């Protein structure tokens, strides 16, 4: 793969992208001992419970509006350095509330980071507000209302993340109605931890234009056809899927089979340093592990721009840069 291919990322959780070096510096600044979770520049975890514990501990060292500006700017600069022209970051205003910073200051810090990165390297970025399923429908409706009322031009999408096995998608449909009415783009985590039924449920209850992961749709041929017919775009994160053992190895990962069946697929990194990956590595995997040509990979990047939650003028400019 040519290393100068332009890149786009649609699925990345901001706190999950925290660069280990920056986390280490932040921990030092606040006198927080993070050595059990971060060793030699690598986040350390061994099962899902310790992954969540590590994730929480890392999130703890980002406390202020300026910390969030710095985190956002640092990650976007890393992306720009590998030829990324557009990024959508998944953010949780509820997280801002839970850490005592407040949703507005949290979002304002992130937006400042986006502005700084754009000024430096002209990378475009937008925010997808997410509800967290394990906090229940009321909290997810709250997140949707927050995103709708914010009227912030950088908030352009709504997502549902968190524990997929909690409740049915229909319980969260109201939140998506609020987001849809506010003109936000819709995407939802499904078909990762849970099987094909969770993707069908998402299509039925939410009618999203994109699905986060969605890869387990491969278990149901009719569903694969439905995705292809609808043109629903999958935000596929192969490195994350392998790290979390959704599939045992890249050979059994369905990215290529989905693409060959006519499903629109794109490549993202999810929580990159936690899964010992990066967007750069995901693009390399597309070539080395899945055998896609540069033209195939560019087509996926183009699909990502076409599916991006941006205004048409920005989309046109991004397509021109590709
Ligand atoms: Zn995700």
Q: Residue 69: which of 21, 118, 129, 32 has the closest Cα?
A: 118
* Tokens read off for 123: 């990378």
- The answer to whether 219 is a known catalytic residue is no
Q: C-alpha dihedral over 50, 55, 56, 57, to 10 degrees?
A: 90
Q: What pLDDT is recorded for position 163?
A: 78
* Catalytic option among 15, 88, 164, 192: 192
Percentage of residues in the chain having pLDDT higher than 70: 100
Round to whole Å and give the CA distance between 100 and 294.
45
Q: In this structure, what DSSP letter does residue 165 have?
A: T
Answer for the pair 253, 247: CB distance below 8 angstroms, yes or no: yes
Round to whole Å and give the CA distance between 241 and 247.
6
Q: Residue 116: which of 44, 166, 66 has the closest Cα?
A: 66
User: For the chain, what are the domain ranges?
Assistant: 7-18+62-321
Q: What pLDDT is recorded for position 165?
A: 81
Q: How far is the CA of 270 from the centre of ligand 1 (A)?
A: 5
Q: What pLDDT is recorded for position 1?
A: 82
Q: What pLDDT is recorded for position 4?
A: 87
Answer for the pair 304, 266: CB distance below 8 angstroms, yes or no: yes
Query: pTM of whole model > 0.95?
Result: yes
Q: Residue 23: which of 49, 47, 56 has the closest Cα?
A: 56
Specify the pairing of strand 7-13 against strand 84-91.
Answer: parallel
Round to whole Å and give the CA distance between 32 and 42.
17
Q: How far is the CA of 231 from the centre of ligand 1 (A)?
A: 20
Count other Cβ atoms within 10 Å, centred on residue 263: 28
Answer for the pair 13, 271: CB distance below 8 angstroms, yes or no: yes
Answer for the pair 213, 235: CB distance below 8 angstroms, yes or no: yes
Q: Residues, the chain, total?
A: 322
Question: What architecture (CATH level 2) is domain 7-18+62-321?
Answer: Alpha-Beta Barrel (3.20)
pLDDT tens, residue by residue, 2-56 = 888 999 999 999 999 999 999 999 999 999 999 999 999 999 999 888 888 999 8
The mean per-residue pLDDT over the stretch 259-264 comes to 98
Q: How far is the CA of 44 from the centre of ligand 1 (A)?
A: 19
Q: Which residues have CB under 8 Å from 148's CB, separation 6+? A: 178, 179, 181, 182, 184
Q: How far is the CA of 13 from the centre of ligand 1 (A)?
A: 6
pLDDT tens, residue by residue, 104-160 = 999 999 999 999 999 999 999 999 999 999 899 999 999 999 999 999 999 999 999
| Residue 84 confidence (pLDDT) above 90 | yes
Count other Cβ atoms within 10 Å, centred on residue 247: 17
CA separation, residue 305 to residues 1, 148, 252, 274 (Å): 20, 23, 27, 26
CA separation, residue 144 to residues 128, 138, 181, 183, 311 (Å): 10, 10, 10, 11, 20
């Amino acid at each position: 793969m040519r290393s100068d291919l332009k890149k786009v990322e649609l699925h990345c959780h901001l706190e999950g992208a925290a660069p280990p070096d920056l986390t280490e510096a932040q921990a030092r600044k606040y006198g927080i001992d993070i050595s059990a979770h971060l060793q030699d520049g690598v986040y350390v975890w061994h099962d899902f419970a310790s992954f969540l514990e590590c994730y929480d501990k890392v999130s703890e060292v980002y406390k202020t509006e300026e910390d969030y500006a710095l985190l956002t700017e640092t990650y976007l600069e890393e992306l720009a350095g590998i030829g990324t022209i557009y990024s959508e970051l998944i953010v949780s205003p509820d997280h801002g509330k839970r850490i005592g910073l407040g949703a507005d200051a949290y979002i304002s810090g992130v937006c400042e980071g986006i502005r700084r990165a754009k000024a430096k390297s002209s990378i475009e970025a937008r925010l997808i507000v997410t509800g967290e399923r394990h906090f229940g429908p009321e909290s997810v409706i709250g997140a949707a209302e927050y995103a709708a009322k914010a009227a912030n031009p950088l908030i352009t999408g709504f997502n549902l993340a968190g524990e997929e096995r909690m409740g049915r998608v229909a319980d969260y449909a109201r939140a998506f109605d609020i987001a849809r009415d506010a003109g936000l783009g819709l995407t939802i985590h499904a078909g990762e931890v849970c099987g094909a039924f969770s993707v069908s449920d998402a299509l039925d209850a939410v009618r999203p234009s994109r699905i986060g992961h969605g890869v387990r749709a491969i278990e149901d041929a009719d569903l694969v056809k439905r995705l292809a017919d609808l043109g629903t775009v999958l935000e596929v994160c192969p490195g994350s899927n392998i790290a979390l053992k959704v599939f045992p190895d890249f050979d059994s990962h369905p990215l290529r089979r989905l693409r060959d069946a006519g499903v629109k697929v794109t490549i993202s990194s999810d929580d990159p340093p936690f899964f010992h990956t990066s967007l750069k590595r995901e693009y390399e995997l597309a070539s080395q592990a899945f055998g896609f040509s540069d033209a195939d990979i560019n087509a996926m990047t183009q699909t990502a721009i076409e599916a991006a939650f941006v205004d048409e003028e920005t989309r046109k400019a991004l397509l021109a840069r590709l």
